[in-house]
Amino acid sequence: GGEGVDELWGEPFKVFSMPIEDFFQSRYIKISQTMSEIDQVTSSITTITITDDALSFVNNKLLELGVMAKMACETIRTDPVMFDVWPCYIAAKEEYEKSLDNLLSDKNEKKNIKFMHAYRLIKECGVLLIKLATLRVPIPDSVRSFTKKCEEFTKNHEKM
């Protein structure tokens, strides 16, 4: 593994090897960094999805998934509010996935290559948001790579 995910396996042992306040402080820092990366990912994909009417409805689903991913990320798994947060997160994930299916069925053949490239980035965005919400640790290499792909797409395809 990489990107800080390896240290996730050491988290349970930190509880016994450091003061509890320090442990929680380190967890809160990682969770806040993860939430910041979720914002970065949704911001990057928005530069693509707002440029075309055919993609605009997916933009709303991705933004909703981003909000719910942050809520799932910041909610402690043993907190009773998780029973409210998790179903909303799953519903946002399912709405995003349904919008992907709709996006493919409505594609315009004239913009096939650009459209499919945008579709792949939109799909990668969803996978990355789900991964961030589940791991609850930052994965800067993946986020940086995704952001760069979105910037390159925007630069190469000014208008779809």
Structural domain boundaries, residue 59: 6-156
What is the per-residue pLDDT across 39-66, written as a single tens digit (0 to 9) for each? 999 999 999 998 888 788 899 999 999 9
Number of domains in the chain: 1
User: Is residue 3 predicted with pLDDT exceeding 70?
Assistant: no
Residue 109 domain-assigned? yes
Q: What is the pTM of this model?
A: 0.85
Residue 1 lies in a domain: no
Task: Give yes or no for a contact between 159 and 72, defined as CB atoms under 8 angstroms apart.
Answer: no
Instruction: Classify residue 65: in a domain, yes or no.
Output: yes
Please provide the DSSP assignment of 72-89 as one string: HHHS-TTSTTHHHHHHHH
- Asked, for residue 35, whether it belongs to a domain, the answer is yes
Q: What is the pLDDT of residue 41?
A: 98
